[in-house]
Chains A and B, each alone.
Chain A
Amino acid sequence: MFTGHRERNILEFTLSSLLRRRGKHLALVVIYTALVFLLASVMFFAGSIREEASIVLRSSPEIILQKMIAGRQDLVPMRYAEVAEKIRGVQRVSPRLWGYYYSPATKSNYTLMVPDNFSYGDGHIVIGNGIARVMSAAKGDRISLLSPEGDPLTFIIAEVMDSRSELISSDLMLVSEGDFRELFDMPEGYVTDLALSVKNEKELSTIARKLSELLPGTRPVLRDEILRTYDAVFNWRAGLMITLLGASVFAFAIFAWDRASGLSAEERREIGILKAVGWETSDIILMKFWEGAVISLSSFLMGMVFAYLHVYFTSGALFWPVLKGWSVLYPEFRLLPHVDLYSIFTLFFLTVVPYTLITIIPSWRTATMDPDEVMRA
């Protein structure tokens, strides 16, 4: 592409021309880079979360069975587990005990859970790293939680969960069944919901239908639905994406429209002079192609590199205020890079190609006119 002397001469001339109006073009590169940066950051961030969710949540229970009363989730009686266990294809039914605890001291919500085998026993607690950070607590410290009657229950912190698991465990508190029931005053024989293990995935929908028939008023949530949830939330059509992408695409459209709507008087005069001194229409189009390519390619490459550094080296620090919302407790996590070449090419064809073409079209129109007419206009 650069073997021709003509191309190099035209590129050299284009760069000199761009540098003559350096203020305007520098501003253009800054805006363009910022746009690509934002679009690519969203793309990297969403892609990584989607990938993480699809891998990690593949180990979630195949079916979660909830009981609904008046549109709200209610406690599930343990006899429901016996009914579910008898359905052909159900391998195991595990009761889940979990709930939320609001801490007025830290003004944050915790998720309390009872693991299958809690080895530390009553009076002990395992906390997520996010809670340890908010409470400034460490292993061996004591913390108190209040029961609905206002009685404090004191726990010894037996373990703080690994900080690398914050994306799933930041707000988790693990306690024994006895402590959980005492803390929430939950009656024996009831659990929060049931987790069903199913041997054959193809039978999931049949089992879910049987559950709804045998236990009316219950709602089965399939693992596939759990996986689809995160795929949908971080899909480009979802709330988070559309908010960020919509603003960026709109800004890019205004920006591109401004370029496409015509050339400035100075640019028209320049084309007129070049034609008058013997430049061919194809030379002018090539020059304008280079002008668009220099700006868009540089901005694209810089925007992509900055976006990568932003998402994977600062964990998407600019998105934190948006994602945190009102929550006090927020996980500090390092996203696992997931770079999809298809998305990079899509972004390239959505930014670099249209901008370069848009730069050529008005110049082509001007370049095909008589030089005298162009300069007088």
Chain B
Amino acid sequence: MRHKKAEVFLIATAVMATLLCLCLLHGRVQENLRADELAKRSRMVEELMLTDLALFMEARYTRHLSLADRHSAFQDHPMSLEHFPAGSLAGPPPHLTGVER
């Protein structure tokens, strides 16, 4: 008895598993190829004394998340609550919410 469907399934699974392995391999190769790029960014951070990634740029306390303080989310007065969408994605840094020095 020929197992046509089983063979097709096993071949398809092997192809998909190979594709996944190729993706992982691509990741490793890229990590090595782009090491210089990463080193350049590290140098830039050192030279300009940068502290944050430019990821959430709509509010000052999300642009420089690590330098935010407990009050920055209140904007202009105590009832003027934080309203930027990034505020709900990027929570306050742990040194503000955890045990402070």
Contact = CB atoms under 8 A, between A and B. Distances in A.
A105 interface: no
Contact of B45 (A57, A162, A337): A57
A168 B54 contact: yes
B38 A61 contact: no
B101 A205 contact: yes
Contacts of B65: 229-230, 233
Chain A interface, >50% SS class: helix
A312 B4 CA distance: 36
A276 interface: no
Interface stretch (A12-20, A83-91, A142-150): A12-20
A284 to B, nearest CB: 18
Interface string B1-40: 1011110011011001101100110111011001001101
Interface string A205-232: 1001100100000011110011011101
Contact of B49 (A15, A61, A221): A61
A253 to B, nearest CB: 23
A164 B72 CA distance: 31
A124 to B, nearest CB: 16
A64 B69 CA distance: 13
Contacts of B27: 308, 312, 337-339
Interface string A42-86: 000000010011011111110010101001110000000000000
A64 B24 contact: no
A349 interface: no
A322 B3 contact: no
Contacts of B31: 336-338
A219 B63 contact: no
Given A2-B10, A12-B6, A305-B19, A326 B58 contact: yes
Interface in B46-101: 46-58, 60, 63-67, 69-72, 84-86, 88-91, 93-95, 101
Contacts of B49: 60-61, 94, 96, 116, 195
B88 to A, nearest CB: 6
A297 B15 CA distance: 12
Contacts of B53: 49, 52-53, 56-57, 167-168, 230
B41 A167 contact: yes
Interface footprint category on B: 35 or more
Chain B interface, >50% SS class: helix
Interface footprint category on A: 35 or more
B101 A56 contact: no
A59 B72 CA distance: 26
A305 B5 contact: no
Contacts of B41: 52, 56, 164-165, 167-168
Given A68-B69, A323-B56, A171 B63 contact: yes
A298 B12 CA distance: 9
A115 B49 CA distance: 8
Contact of A66 (B4, B28, B67, B95): B67
Greatest chain A CB density within 10 A among B26, B51, B52 is at: B51
Contacts of A156: none
A225 B66 contact: yes
B16 A302 contact: yes
Given A8-B3, A229-B93, A55 B101 contact: no
A64 B48 contact: no
A109 interface: yes
Given A60-B50, A111-B63, A205-B101, A298 B13 contact: yes
Contacts of B38: 52, 55-56, 336
Given A12-B4, A113-B48, A304-B23, 5 more contacts: A11-B3, A55-B38, A55-B42, A167-B41, A301-B13
Which 8 interchain pairs have the tightest Cβ spacing?
Answer: A337-B27, A325-B85, A71-B71, A301-B16, A59-B46, A229-B93, A15-B5, A226-B66
Interface of A: 2, 8-9, 11-12, 15-16, 19, 49, 52-53, 55-61, 64, 66, 68, 71-73, 94, 96, 100, 108-109, 111, 113, 115-116, 128, 130, 162, 164-172, 174, 193, 195, 205, 208-209, 212, 219-222, 225-226, 228-230, 232-233, 238-240, 243, 294, 297-298, 301-302, 304-305, 308-309, 312, 322-323, 325-327, 329-331, 336-339, 341
15 contacts: A9-B3, A56-B38, A60-B50, A64-B67, A100-B63, A172-B54, A205-B101, A225-B94, A239-B91, A240-B89, A240-B90, A294-B9, A301-B20, A327-B57, A330-B57
